[in-house]
Amino acid sequence: MVTKPAKAAPDTARRSERSRRAIYDAALALVGEVGYPRTTIEGIAARAGVGKQTIYRWWGSKADVLLEAFLDLAAAPAAEPYAIPDTGDLAADIKGVLRATVDQMTDPRFDAPARALAAEGVVDAEAGRRFTAALMEPNIQLYVDRLRAAQEAGQVRAGIDPRIALEFFISPLAQRWLQHTGPISYEYTDTLVDYALYGLAPR
Amino acid sequence: MVTKPAKAAPDTARRSERSRRAIYDAALALVGEVGYPRTTIEGIAARAGVGKQTIYRWWGSKADVLLEAFLDLAAAPAAEPYAIPDTGDLAADIKGVLRATVDQMTDPRFDAPARALAAEGVVDAEAGRRFTAALMEPNIQLYVDRLRAAQEAGQVRAGIDPRIALEFFISPLAQRWLQHTGPISYEYTDTLVDYALYGLAPR
Protein backbone atom coordinates (compact mmCIF):
# COMPACT_ATOMS: atom_id res chain seq x y z
CA MET A 1 0.00 0.00 0.00
CA VAL A 2 2.97 2.30 0.54
CA THR A 3 4.74 1.34 -2.68
CA LYS A 4 1.70 1.87 -4.82
CA PRO A 5 1.50 5.67 -4.64
CA ALA A 6 5.30 5.82 -4.74
CA LYS A 7 5.21 3.86 -7.99
CA ALA A 8 2.16 5.71 -9.33
CA ALA A 9 3.65 9.16 -8.78
CA PRO A 10 6.48 8.87 -11.34
CA ASP A 11 4.03 7.30 -13.83
CA THR A 12 1.62 10.21 -13.31
CA ALA A 13 4.45 12.70 -13.64
CA ARG A 14 5.65 11.03 -16.82
CA ARG A 15 2.12 10.96 -18.23
CA SER A 16 1.64 14.62 -17.28
CA GLU A 17 4.94 15.56 -18.91
CA ARG A 18 3.93 13.69 -22.09
CA SER A 19 0.56 15.47 -22.15
CA ARG A 20 2.16 18.84 -21.48
CA ARG A 21 4.59 18.38 -24.34
CA ALA A 22 1.81 17.18 -26.68
CA ILE A 23 -0.21 20.28 -25.75
CA TYR A 24 2.74 22.64 -26.38
CA ASP A 25 3.42 21.03 -29.76
CA ALA A 26 -0.26 21.12 -30.73
CA ALA A 27 -0.67 24.74 -29.65
CA LEU A 28 2.38 25.96 -31.61
CA ALA A 29 1.49 23.95 -34.72
CA LEU A 30 -2.14 25.04 -34.67
CA VAL A 31 -1.54 28.77 -34.17
CA GLY A 32 1.04 28.67 -36.97
CA GLU A 33 -1.48 27.02 -39.29
CA VAL A 34 -4.76 28.82 -38.60
CA GLY A 35 -3.66 32.00 -36.79
CA TYR A 36 -4.32 33.23 -33.28
CA PRO A 37 -8.03 34.14 -33.54
CA ARG A 38 -9.01 30.68 -34.86
CA THR A 39 -6.88 28.73 -32.39
CA THR A 40 -9.07 27.33 -29.59
CA ILE A 41 -8.54 25.27 -26.45
CA GLU A 42 -10.78 22.61 -28.06
CA GLY A 43 -8.61 22.53 -31.17
CA ILE A 44 -5.40 22.25 -29.14
CA ALA A 45 -6.91 19.44 -27.01
CA ALA A 46 -8.09 17.48 -30.07
CA ARG A 47 -4.72 17.77 -31.78
CA ALA A 48 -2.81 16.86 -28.61
CA GLY A 49 -5.11 13.88 -27.97
CA VAL A 50 -6.11 15.07 -24.50
CA GLY A 51 -9.42 16.16 -22.98
CA LYS A 52 -9.92 19.90 -22.91
CA GLN A 53 -10.37 19.66 -19.12
CA THR A 54 -6.71 18.62 -18.95
CA ILE A 55 -5.80 21.95 -20.52
CA TYR A 56 -8.16 23.97 -18.35
CA ARG A 57 -6.68 22.28 -15.27
CA TRP A 58 -3.25 23.68 -16.09
CA TRP A 59 -3.94 26.93 -17.93
CA GLY A 60 -6.54 29.69 -17.78
CA SER A 61 -6.69 30.62 -21.48
CA LYS A 62 -5.23 29.90 -24.90
CA ALA A 63 -2.89 32.86 -24.44
CA ASP A 64 -1.48 31.18 -21.31
CA VAL A 65 -0.92 27.89 -23.15
CA LEU A 66 0.77 29.63 -26.08
CA LEU A 67 3.01 31.77 -23.91
CA GLU A 68 4.24 28.73 -21.98
CA ALA A 69 4.69 26.74 -25.18
CA PHE A 70 6.84 29.57 -26.55
CA LEU A 71 8.88 29.92 -23.38
CA ASP A 72 9.49 26.17 -23.51
CA LEU A 73 10.57 26.43 -27.18
CA ALA A 74 12.92 29.31 -26.35
CA ALA A 75 14.45 27.33 -23.47
CA ALA A 76 15.38 24.47 -25.81
CA PRO A 77 19.13 23.81 -26.19
CA ALA A 78 19.26 25.40 -29.66
CA ALA A 79 18.25 28.71 -28.12
CA GLU A 80 20.88 28.70 -25.35
CA PRO A 81 23.13 31.30 -27.05
CA TYR A 82 20.44 33.85 -26.21
CA ALA A 83 22.28 34.60 -23.02
CA ILE A 84 24.65 37.44 -23.99
CA PRO A 85 28.25 36.65 -23.05
CA ASP A 86 30.65 39.25 -21.73
CA THR A 87 34.04 38.48 -23.25
CA GLY A 88 35.03 42.15 -23.05
CA ASP A 89 34.48 42.51 -26.83
CA LEU A 90 31.06 44.16 -27.05
CA ALA A 91 30.79 44.01 -30.86
CA ALA A 92 31.63 40.29 -30.98
CA ASP A 93 29.27 39.47 -28.10
CA ILE A 94 26.30 41.27 -29.69
CA LYS A 95 27.06 39.88 -33.14
CA GLY A 96 26.97 36.37 -31.69
CA VAL A 97 23.58 36.77 -30.06
CA LEU A 98 22.11 38.43 -33.17
CA ARG A 99 23.32 35.55 -35.33
CA ALA A 100 21.44 33.19 -32.99
CA THR A 101 18.34 35.38 -33.43
CA VAL A 102 18.74 35.13 -37.22
CA ASP A 103 18.86 31.32 -36.86
CA GLN A 104 15.67 31.38 -34.82
CA MET A 105 13.83 33.67 -37.26
CA THR A 106 14.68 31.38 -40.16
CA ASP A 107 13.63 28.22 -38.23
CA PRO A 108 10.14 27.18 -39.41
CA ARG A 109 9.31 25.65 -36.00
CA PHE A 110 9.58 29.16 -34.58
CA ASP A 111 8.59 31.33 -37.52
CA ALA A 112 4.91 30.45 -38.11
CA PRO A 113 3.70 30.44 -34.48
CA ALA A 114 5.79 33.52 -33.63
CA ARG A 115 4.21 35.40 -36.54
CA ALA A 116 0.71 34.39 -35.44
CA LEU A 117 1.31 35.75 -31.94
CA ALA A 118 3.04 38.90 -33.23
CA ALA A 119 0.14 39.62 -35.61
CA GLU A 120 -2.37 39.34 -32.78
CA GLY A 121 -0.23 41.69 -30.70
CA VAL A 122 -0.25 44.29 -33.50
CA VAL A 123 -4.06 44.61 -33.48
CA ASP A 124 -4.78 43.81 -29.80
CA ALA A 125 -2.76 46.15 -27.58
CA GLU A 126 -3.48 44.22 -24.39
CA ALA A 127 -2.40 40.90 -25.94
CA GLY A 128 0.61 42.62 -27.49
CA ARG A 129 1.77 44.04 -24.16
CA ARG A 130 1.34 40.66 -22.54
CA PHE A 131 3.28 38.78 -25.24
CA THR A 132 6.04 41.40 -25.17
CA ALA A 133 6.33 41.26 -21.37
CA ALA A 134 6.55 37.46 -21.34
CA LEU A 135 8.51 36.73 -24.51
CA MET A 136 10.63 39.82 -25.25
CA GLU A 137 11.30 41.75 -22.04
CA PRO A 138 13.62 39.08 -20.55
CA ASN A 139 15.79 39.25 -23.70
CA ILE A 140 15.63 43.04 -23.75
CA GLN A 141 16.92 43.06 -20.17
CA LEU A 142 19.94 40.97 -21.24
CA TYR A 143 20.87 43.69 -23.74
CA VAL A 144 20.39 46.40 -21.10
CA ASP A 145 22.69 44.53 -18.71
CA ARG A 146 25.36 43.90 -21.37
CA LEU A 147 25.32 47.55 -22.51
CA ARG A 148 25.57 48.73 -18.91
CA ALA A 149 28.62 46.52 -18.36
CA ALA A 150 30.13 47.99 -21.55
CA GLN A 151 29.38 51.47 -20.23
CA GLU A 152 31.20 50.68 -16.99
CA ALA A 153 34.12 49.35 -19.04
CA GLY A 154 34.24 52.64 -20.98
CA GLN A 155 33.19 51.00 -24.29
CA VAL A 156 29.85 52.81 -24.51
CA ARG A 157 29.50 56.56 -23.95
CA ALA A 158 28.33 57.49 -20.46
CA GLY A 159 25.32 59.51 -21.64
CA ILE A 160 23.77 56.68 -23.71
CA ASP A 161 20.51 55.16 -22.43
CA PRO A 162 20.96 51.37 -22.84
CA ARG A 163 17.19 50.81 -23.09
CA ILE A 164 17.11 52.92 -26.26
CA ALA A 165 20.54 51.94 -27.62
CA LEU A 166 19.69 48.21 -27.68
CA GLU A 167 16.95 48.91 -30.21
CA PHE A 168 19.59 49.54 -32.88
CA PHE A 169 20.51 45.87 -32.53
CA ILE A 170 17.07 44.29 -32.30
CA SER A 171 14.59 46.61 -34.06
CA PRO A 172 15.95 46.67 -37.64
CA LEU A 173 16.06 42.86 -37.62
CA ALA A 174 12.56 42.68 -36.11
CA GLN A 175 11.16 45.05 -38.74
CA ARG A 176 12.70 43.08 -41.62
CA TRP A 177 11.15 39.94 -40.13
CA LEU A 178 7.72 41.47 -39.37
CA GLN A 179 7.31 43.71 -42.41
CA HIS A 180 9.41 41.97 -45.07
CA THR A 181 11.42 45.15 -45.62
CA GLY A 182 14.64 43.31 -46.47
CA PRO A 183 16.59 40.05 -46.30
CA ILE A 184 17.92 38.66 -43.01
CA SER A 185 21.51 37.36 -42.75
CA TYR A 186 24.55 37.26 -40.47
CA GLU A 187 26.26 39.83 -42.68
CA TYR A 188 23.32 42.18 -42.18
CA THR A 189 23.24 41.88 -38.38
CA ASP A 190 27.04 42.19 -38.17
CA THR A 191 26.73 45.47 -40.11
CA LEU A 192 24.04 46.74 -37.74
CA VAL A 193 26.38 46.24 -34.79
CA ASP A 194 29.27 48.08 -36.47
CA TYR A 195 27.08 51.00 -37.57
CA ALA A 196 25.41 51.27 -34.15
CA LEU A 197 28.65 51.28 -32.17
CA TYR A 198 30.57 53.72 -34.36
CA GLY A 199 27.74 55.83 -35.78
CA LEU A 200 26.94 57.07 -39.24
CA ALA A 201 28.70 60.44 -39.08
CA PRO A 202 32.47 60.70 -39.71
CA ARG A 203 34.71 60.41 -36.64
CA MET B 1 -26.97 68.45 -77.66
CA VAL B 2 -23.36 69.53 -77.33
CA THR B 3 -23.82 71.11 -73.91
CA LYS B 4 -25.53 68.07 -72.43
CA PRO B 5 -22.52 65.71 -72.25
CA ALA B 6 -20.35 68.69 -71.33
CA LYS B 7 -22.62 69.29 -68.36
CA ALA B 8 -23.06 65.60 -67.55
CA ALA B 9 -19.34 64.86 -67.45
CA PRO B 10 -18.49 67.05 -64.41
CA ASP B 11 -21.57 65.65 -62.61
CA THR B 12 -20.40 62.11 -63.29
CA ALA B 13 -16.89 63.00 -62.23
CA ARG B 14 -18.21 64.61 -59.05
CA ARG B 15 -20.43 61.63 -58.31
CA SER B 16 -17.51 59.26 -58.96
CA GLU B 17 -15.25 61.30 -56.71
CA ARG B 18 -17.90 61.23 -53.96
CA SER B 19 -18.25 57.42 -54.31
CA ARG B 20 -14.51 56.93 -54.37
CA ARG B 21 -14.09 58.93 -51.18
CA ALA B 22 -16.97 57.08 -49.48
CA ILE B 23 -15.35 53.77 -50.45
CA TYR B 24 -11.94 54.82 -49.10
CA ASP B 25 -13.48 55.97 -45.82
CA ALA B 26 -15.57 52.81 -45.50
CA ALA B 27 -12.61 50.54 -46.28
CA LEU B 28 -10.31 52.20 -43.72
CA ALA B 29 -13.00 52.30 -41.01
CA LEU B 30 -14.03 48.70 -41.58
CA VAL B 31 -10.56 47.17 -41.61
CA GLY B 32 -9.75 49.08 -38.42
CA GLU B 33 -12.87 47.71 -36.75
CA VAL B 34 -13.02 44.07 -37.83
CA GLY B 35 -9.50 43.37 -39.11
CA TYR B 36 -8.23 42.46 -42.54
CA PRO B 37 -9.52 38.88 -42.86
CA ARG B 38 -13.14 39.86 -42.06
CA THR B 39 -13.16 42.95 -44.29
CA THR B 40 -14.99 42.18 -47.55
CA ILE B 41 -15.85 44.06 -50.73
CA GLU B 42 -19.52 43.54 -49.80
CA GLY B 43 -18.97 45.10 -46.38
CA ILE B 44 -17.13 48.07 -47.83
CA ALA B 45 -19.88 48.60 -50.46
CA ALA B 46 -22.65 48.43 -47.86
CA ARG B 47 -20.91 50.90 -45.58
CA ALA B 48 -20.07 53.27 -48.43
CA GLY B 49 -23.66 53.10 -49.75
CA VAL B 50 -22.59 51.93 -53.22
CA GLY B 51 -23.19 48.75 -55.17
CA LYS B 52 -20.38 46.23 -54.98
CA GLN B 53 -20.14 46.36 -58.79
CA THR B 54 -18.99 49.96 -58.40
CA ILE B 55 -16.05 48.70 -56.38
CA TYR B 56 -15.27 45.83 -58.74
CA ARG B 57 -15.32 48.30 -61.66
CA TRP B 58 -12.45 50.27 -60.12
CA TRP B 59 -10.48 47.70 -58.13
CA GLY B 60 -9.58 44.04 -58.45
CA SER B 61 -9.56 43.05 -54.77
CA LYS B 62 -10.00 44.33 -51.24
CA ALA B 63 -6.20 44.65 -50.99
CA ASP B 64 -6.27 47.05 -53.96
CA VAL B 65 -9.01 49.18 -52.38
CA LEU B 66 -7.19 49.33 -49.05
CA LEU B 67 -3.83 50.18 -50.59
CA GLU B 68 -5.33 53.07 -52.55
CA ALA B 69 -7.29 54.26 -49.52
CA PHE B 70 -4.05 54.33 -47.55
CA LEU B 71 -2.10 56.11 -50.26
CA ASP B 72 -4.89 58.69 -50.38
CA LEU B 73 -4.74 59.10 -46.58
CA ALA B 74 -0.97 59.49 -46.69
CA ALA B 75 -1.26 62.13 -49.43
CA ALA B 76 -3.54 64.29 -47.25
CA PRO B 77 -2.13 67.71 -46.28
CA ALA B 78 -1.39 66.57 -42.70
CA ALA B 79 1.07 64.05 -44.07
CA GLU B 80 2.97 66.50 -46.33
CA PRO B 81 6.02 66.74 -44.04
CA TYR B 82 6.84 63.18 -45.12
CA ALA B 83 9.02 64.58 -47.86
CA ILE B 84 12.47 64.84 -46.23
CA PRO B 85 13.92 68.34 -46.61
CA ASP B 86 17.60 68.98 -47.24
CA THR B 87 18.53 72.07 -45.24
CA GLY B 88 22.11 70.85 -44.92
CA ASP B 89 21.47 69.85 -41.29
CA LEU B 90 20.94 66.08 -41.52
CA ALA B 91 20.02 65.60 -37.85
CA ALA B 92 17.39 68.35 -37.92
CA ASP B 93 15.94 67.15 -41.22
CA ILE B 94 15.53 63.53 -40.03
CA LYS B 95 14.21 64.62 -36.63
CA GLY B 96 11.52 66.64 -38.39
CA VAL B 97 10.29 63.78 -40.54
CA LEU B 98 10.34 61.35 -37.60
CA ARG B 99 8.24 63.77 -35.53
CA ALA B 100 5.70 63.74 -38.37
CA THR B 101 5.75 59.93 -38.26
CA VAL B 102 5.09 60.05 -34.51
CA ASP B 103 2.09 62.31 -35.19
CA GLN B 104 0.75 59.84 -37.74
CA MET B 105 1.21 56.82 -35.45
CA THR B 106 -0.71 58.53 -32.68
CA ASP B 107 -3.52 59.61 -35.05
CA PRO B 108 -6.48 57.20 -34.58
CA ARG B 109 -7.57 57.69 -38.21
CA PHE B 110 -4.31 56.09 -39.25
CA ASP B 111 -3.57 53.77 -36.33
CA ALA B 112 -6.38 51.17 -36.48
CA PRO B 113 -6.40 50.52 -40.25
CA ALA B 114 -2.60 50.61 -40.42
CA ARG B 115 -2.41 47.99 -37.66
CA ALA B 116 -4.93 45.76 -39.45
CA LEU B 117 -2.86 45.82 -42.64
CA ALA B 118 0.43 45.37 -40.79
CA ALA B 119 -0.94 42.36 -38.89
CA GLU B 120 -2.04 40.70 -42.13
CA GLY B 121 1.41 41.34 -43.58
CA VAL B 122 3.04 39.63 -40.58
CA VAL B 123 1.26 36.31 -41.23
CA ASP B 124 0.86 36.49 -45.04
CA ALA B 125 4.26 37.06 -46.64
CA GLU B 126 2.83 37.83 -50.08
CA ALA B 127 0.41 40.44 -48.69
CA GLY B 128 3.19 41.81 -46.49
CA ARG B 129 5.56 42.29 -49.41
CA ARG B 130 2.81 43.96 -51.41
CA PHE B 131 1.85 46.36 -48.59
CA THR B 132 5.50 47.18 -47.93
CA ALA B 133 6.20 47.85 -51.62
CA ALA B 134 3.20 50.17 -51.97
CA LEU B 135 3.11 51.89 -48.59
CA MET B 136 6.66 51.85 -47.21
CA GLU B 137 9.17 51.63 -50.06
CA PRO B 138 8.48 55.16 -51.37
CA ASN B 139 9.24 56.56 -47.89
CA ILE B 140 12.27 54.32 -47.51
CA GLN B 141 13.60 55.69 -50.80
CA LEU B 142 13.32 59.25 -49.43
CA TYR B 143 15.63 58.27 -46.56
CA VAL B 144 18.07 56.60 -48.97
CA ASP B 145 18.18 59.77 -51.10
CA ARG B 146 18.65 62.06 -48.09
CA LEU B 147 21.42 59.89 -46.64
CA ARG B 148 23.14 59.76 -50.01
CA ALA B 149 23.07 63.55 -50.24
CA ALA B 150 24.55 63.68 -46.72
CA GLN B 151 27.25 61.26 -47.81
CA GLU B 152 28.13 63.50 -50.75
CA ALA B 153 28.26 66.45 -48.36
CA GLY B 154 30.69 64.51 -46.12
CA GLN B 155 28.22 64.28 -43.22
CA VAL B 156 27.87 60.50 -43.40
CA ARG B 157 30.87 58.15 -43.68
CA ALA B 158 31.61 57.00 -47.23
CA GLY B 159 31.42 53.27 -46.38
CA ILE B 160 27.92 53.40 -44.89
CA ASP B 161 25.10 51.67 -46.86
CA PRO B 162 22.17 54.13 -46.74
CA ARG B 163 19.62 51.29 -47.18
CA ILE B 164 20.77 49.76 -43.88
CA ALA B 165 21.57 53.02 -42.05
CA LEU B 166 18.04 54.40 -42.49
CA GLU B 167 16.71 51.51 -40.41
CA PHE B 168 18.19 53.10 -37.28
CA PHE B 169 15.72 55.94 -37.82
CA ILE B 170 12.60 54.00 -38.78
CA SER B 171 12.88 50.50 -37.26
CA PRO B 172 13.03 51.25 -33.51
CA LEU B 173 9.96 53.48 -33.87
CA ALA B 174 8.18 50.83 -35.97
CA GLN B 175 8.92 48.12 -33.41
CA ARG B 176 7.63 50.22 -30.51
CA TRP B 177 4.47 50.83 -32.53
CA LEU B 178 4.01 47.22 -33.72
CA GLN B 179 5.09 45.34 -30.60
CA HIS B 180 4.34 47.79 -27.78
CA THR B 181 7.94 47.63 -26.60
CA GLY B 182 8.01 51.23 -25.38
CA PRO B 183 6.40 54.68 -25.52
CA ILE B 184 6.56 56.85 -28.64
CA SER B 185 7.46 60.56 -28.40
CA TYR B 186 9.42 63.34 -30.12
CA GLU B 187 12.08 63.11 -27.41
CA TYR B 188 12.52 59.42 -28.19
CA THR B 189 12.88 59.88 -31.96
CA ASP B 190 15.25 62.86 -31.48
CA THR B 191 17.42 60.59 -29.33
CA LEU B 192 17.44 57.87 -32.00
CA VAL B 193 18.79 60.36 -34.53
CA ASP B 194 21.58 61.56 -32.23
CA TYR B 195 22.62 58.02 -31.26
CA ALA B 196 22.53 56.80 -34.87
CA LEU B 197 24.63 59.65 -36.24
CA TYR B 198 27.30 59.67 -33.55
CA GLY B 199 27.26 56.01 -32.43
CA LEU B 200 27.25 54.35 -29.06
CA ALA B 201 31.01 53.92 -28.61
CA PRO B 202 33.14 56.82 -27.30
CA ARG B 203 34.65 59.12 -29.95
Q: Where are the domains of chain B?
A: 3-62, 76-198
Query: What amino acid occupies position A114?
Result: A
Do the Cβ atoms of A175 and B179 come within 8 Å? no
Comparing alpha-carbon positions, the chain B residue that sits nearest to A147 is: B200
Say whether pLDDT at B7 is over 80: no
Q: Which fold has domain A76-198?
A: Tetracycline Repressor; domain 2 (1.10.357)
* A13 pLDDT tier (thresholds 50, 70, 90): confident
Q: Does B32 touch chain A (CB under 8 A)?
A: no
- Computed over every residue of chain A, the mean pLDDT equals 90
A177-194: average pLDDT: 97
pLDDT of residue B5: 47
Q: Are A116 and B120 in contact (CB under 8 A)?
A: no
Q: Please choose, from the candidates A129, A167, A67, the residue with its C-alpha nearest in 3D space to the C-alpha of residue B180.
A: A129
Residues of A in contact with B192 (CB under 8 A): 164, 167
- Residues 100 to 119 of A: which have CB under 8 A from any B CB? 115-116, 118-119
* Smallest Cα distance from A9 to chain B, Å: 42
pLDDT of residue A108: 87
Task: Decide which of B155 and B14 is more confident.
Answer: B155
Residues of A in contact with B149 (CB under 8 A): none
Mutate to test the interface with B, among A39, A106, A115, A122 (most CBs of B within 10 A): A122
- Residues 175 to 194 of A: which have CB under 8 A from any B CB? 175-176, 178-182, 188, 191-192
Q: Does A167 touch chain B (CB under 8 A)?
A: yes
Q: What share of chain A is helix, strand, coil (3-state, %, to 5)?
A: 75, 0, 25
* A9 pLDDT tier (thresholds 50, 70, 90): low
Give how far Cα A130 sits from Cα of A63, A91, A120, B195, Å.
Answer: 9, 31, 11, 29
Looking at chain B, the whole-number percentage of residues with pLDDT higher than 90 is 79
Give how far Cα B185 sits from Cα of A87, A181, B105, B109, Å.
Answer: 35, 23, 10, 18
B56-76: average pLDDT: 88
B3-62: CATH number: 1.10.10.60
CATH of range A3-61; options 1.10.10.60, 3.20.20.70, 3.30.465.10, 3.40.50.1110: 1.10.10.60
A74-81: average pLDDT: 56
* Smallest Cα distance from B166 to chain A, Å: 9
Q: Are A141 and A97 in contact (CB under 8 A)?
A: no
Q: Please choose, from the candidates B138, B137, B118, B115, the residue with its C-alpha nearest in 3D space to the C-alpha of residue B128.
A: B118
